[in-house]
Amino acid sequence: MTRHRSDGKHWLAGLWRAFTSPSARWSFGAILIAGGIGGVLLWGGFNTFMEYTNTLEFCVSCHEMETTVYQEYKKSPHYENASGVRAVCADCHVPKDWGAKVLRKIQASSEIFHKLAGTVDTPEKFEAKRRQLAERVWATMKANNSRECRNCHEYQAMAFHKQRTESQQKMQLEAAPKNMACVECHKGIAHKFPLPPRDDE
C-alpha cells in the first residue's frame, strides 16, 4: 500500500517536472501556455475578420455591388424607414448561427473567383445574370423558411389589425397558419425585380 502511494507521488512529481522543467528552450508548460494564447489570438482574429465581412462597408466595397444592388437597396425600406431601423446586407444574406454563418462564408468564397473573372463587372453583365442570381437567393430563402427574414419579422409578433386590409387577410389567414416563407410572396424588396426570362432561356 505504501509502495503504491510512493509510486503515485513519484509519477506526479515526474509529471510536474515535465511540465515545469525546460527542454532545449521551453518547458512543456510554457509551450502549452504560449499555444493557448496563440490559439485565442488566432480565433479572435478569425472571428473579428469574419464579422468585418458582415459590414455594409465591406459588402459594397467592390464596384459590382456599389453601382448596382447597393443603389437599389438605398431606395428600399430596409435602408431608410420611419422607425430608423436599418437592415444591412448580412442581416438578409448571412445566418446568425455560427456554424451556418461559417458555411455561408465558405460558399461566398466563390465570389472571389467571379470577381477575378469579371463575371458581373459591368451593369450589362450584371443585368444578364440578375435573374439567375436572384433565383439562387430565393431558393436558399425558401429552403431555410426565410430564416434571416425572421430575425426581424415573425408572425407571432405581428399586429395584424394595424396592417392594410389586403395584407392582413393574406398574412393572418393564409401565410401565418401555413408558416409560409416570407420569400414566397415578398420578392424584389431590397433590389430591383429581375425581368422575366426570355422564351429561349
* 3 state DSSP class of 189: coil
C-alpha to C-alpha distance for 179 and 166, rounded to whole angstroms:
18
Length of the chain, in residues = 201
Could you list the residues known to form a binding site, using ranges: 59, 62, 65, 89, 92-93, 111, 149, 152-153, 182, 185-186, 191
Q: Which residues are annotated as a binding site for a menaquinol?
A: 89
Amino acid identity, residue 179?
Answer: N
Residues making up the binding site for heme? 59, 62, 65, 92-93, 111, 149, 152-153, 182, 185-186, 191
Nearest to residue 120, comparing CAs of 109, 107, 133, 108? 133
For 31: left if phi > 0, alpha if psi spans -120 to 50, otherwise beta; the answer is alpha
